[in-house]
Structure 1
Amino acid sequence: MKPTLRQLEYLVAIADTGRFSDAAERLNVAQPSLSTQVADAETQLGATLFERSRAGAYPTPIGEQVIRRARYILRQMEDLKAIAAHGETGLFGRVRLGVLPTIGPYLLPRCTKPIHARFPELRLSINDAATDRLASMLEQGLLDATVSTLEDHPGCEGVTLFSERLWIAVEPEDPLAATSQPVQLDDLKERGFLTLGLGHRLTKLVQQLAYRAGGYVASDYEGTSLDAIRHMAALGAGIAVLPDLYVQCEARRDDSLVFRPIEDPRASRDIALVWRRNSPIRDGLELLAEIMRDAARGALGQQKTRQTGA
């Protein structure tokens, strides 16, 4: 006999969570059943795959090799199902889409109608998560594609949807609020920056920006959302650094803050639709990317037109 696909899923879940109990909860199965299946897989393979202790479960050296191959097998099975569900070029049924929380709420609502019109049989299952988590889920085959930053998904492919600059937001009493013109890095020297927690590409950008400007990232506060960062800036807790799409679609309506774009070529990021290399639904995803690109262009272009008075 050979290990089943279900048993391979159990092995991967234990490796991801570090505990049999957490893996059972994640897969919605009883822990005794999961333990029995793992023991059966170990018997069939003739090797101990996990070191068990009160602190958790850790893959043995042979277990690491087995789990790495199990991930590959499970990804291939997901691709096989995708071919059957979506065909070679179109998108049908359920597609699992990951999205950055700093992008999804402001981009996806603008895509809903054109996506339904172009792919009436498509049902998007949305997973909102930080960059690191999206990368892990895409690699494991838990997502079909993700709206993210391409450089954070090595070994994957994708197409750029749009580029966005970064802005600062400060309370009206702040000296930086004297003008709405682009702000220079020298103006941010020794200032505290507010940003999201670890695992977000935006956080890395803000950390790099603070270093180049001679400022620092506030260590006593990590925002859970862009809204939270914006509200903290309004209370005078520091300078909020916010991406363009969010500023144009949401934050510019907040008259308790003054917004200024940052004048620096590295104060920006490229947002892409990313998928695994050799994805069986690549052609359909490229069509989906066109819709998203048009939606982003409309949001950013429309707002910029209003700003210039055109």
Structure 2
Amino acid sequence: MREISLDRLRTLVAIADLGSFAEAARVLNLSPPTVSLHIADLESRVGGKLLSRTRGRVQPSAIGETLVERARRLLADAEQALEDVQRQVQGLSGRVRLGASTGAIAQLMPQALEILSQRHPAIDVQVAVLTSQETLKKLAEGSLEIGLVALPQTPVRQLRIKPWRRDPVMAFLPARWECPQVVSPDWLAAQPLILNDNTTRLSRLTTEWFASDGRQPTPRIQLNYNDAIKSLVAAGYGATLLPYEASTPLPDTRIAMRPLHPLLWRQLGIAHREGDIERSTQYVLDVLWGLSAQ
């Protein structure tokens, strides 16, 4: 069977409700011949009579009742779909897909999501744990709206990448250790280490920091989940280098933080596609920009 248009189904339902071709034409703002054409087209497609006239009133046949019942559901679904889309266009609801590293998700996204839930509770942010390169690839493909990525990054066609945060990298050490007030590559390289795995930008940053003093230490373990790394530090398993976001809670009291010399910074950027941005996506971007720290 060929596709049946919603306009024809709407005409059928109107006639069933009003009992008259003429009334249906008036309510739908159609000419009587157009109403008759709609019904003739439906009857041709289903292969049977949909309406009958009884005592001057038009009523659905048995076949017509079945189609009217289904048509009501289809029209209601179509109306709901339009309302949902309009709410998304207006920024009242929507889905925003965001990619970020585990560190950004664990430390920064909870703050953003809490603010967003207060301002725009109907916006659903779907977060994916991805490396910066995976995030940029999915943004370019159109399967993400926003990405939090490590900087610097090579420019990507049709993507806008702007600096977002610049947070100091600190030494996180077991509090029971005897630690200097400022940690150098020479001192830290001699300690047992728990570092990010070599797929991350932070791993490359820390490698360069150690190399500035001619050091190339081998960590006891490499992970890509900062909260797990902190748990191991708290247990005394080793020391680590991690970004410290000033707006996040202080770490476990079993962990001591020390500044580095030379200083080291972790820079993050916000990436999104160029061109028009949906309002729901813009609202998420606005919240994220509010968490920027220079």
TM-score normalized with structure 2 length: 0.59
Q: 1:92 to 1:150 in 2, by over 3 A?
A: farther
Matched residue, 1:32: none
Counterpart-to-counterpart distance in 1, 2:118 and 2:231: 37
Counterpart-to-counterpart distance in 2, 1:85 and 1:229: 42
CA contact (8 A) 2:193 2:219 kept: no
Instruction: Provide Cα deviations, 1:180-201, integer angstroms capped at 9, x if missing partner.
Output: xx43445435445422223221
Instruction: Provide Cα deviations, 1:142-196, integer angstroms capped at 9, x if missing partner.
Output: 2111112243363131333321010111223434x253xx434454354454222
CA drift of 1:127 comes to 0.8
Matched residue, 1:295: 291
> Which structure has greater helix proportion?
1
Q: Which runs of 5+ in 1 are unaligned?
A: 1-82, 301-310
Matched residue, 2:248: 249
Matched residue, 2:28: none
CA drift of 1:262 comes to 1.7
Misfit runs of 4+, over 6 Å: none
Matched residue, 2:113: 112
Secondary structure of the 1:206 match is helix
Matched residue, 2:160: 157
Matched residue, 1:132: 133
Counterpart-to-counterpart distance in 2, 1:171 and 1:138: 39
Counterpart-to-counterpart distance in 2, 1:281 and 1:202: 30
Instruction: Provide Cα deviations, 1:98-127, integer angstroms capped at 9, x if missing partner.
Output: 122101122222223432454454221111
Matched residue, 2:267: 270
Matched residue, 1:142: 143
Give runs of aligned pairs for residues 194-273 of structure 1, distance below 5 A. Answer: 194-245=194-245, 249-250=248-249, 252-265=250-263, 267-273=264-270
CA contact (8 A) 2:173 2:238 kept: yes
Secondary structure of the 1:263 match is coil
CA contact (8 A) 1:90 1:283 kept: yes
CA contact (8 A) 1:162 1:271 kept: yes
Residue identity over aligned pairs, in percent, reads 18
User: Matched residue pairs, number?
Assistant: 208
CA contact (8 A) 1:185 1:213 kept: yes
CA contact (8 A) 1:193 1:215 kept: no
Secondary structure of the 1:168 match is strand
TM-score normalized with structure 1 length: 0.56
1:174 to 173, 177, 181: 177
Q: 1:84 to 1:131 in 2, by over 3 A?
A: farther
Partner AA of 1:141 in structure 2: G
Partner AA of 1:258 in structure 2: A
Q: 1:153 to 1:119 in 2, by over 3 A?
A: farther
RMSD (Å), alpha carbons = 3.3
Matched residue, 1:51: none
Secondary structure of the 1:104 match is helix
Secondary structure of the 1:135 match is helix
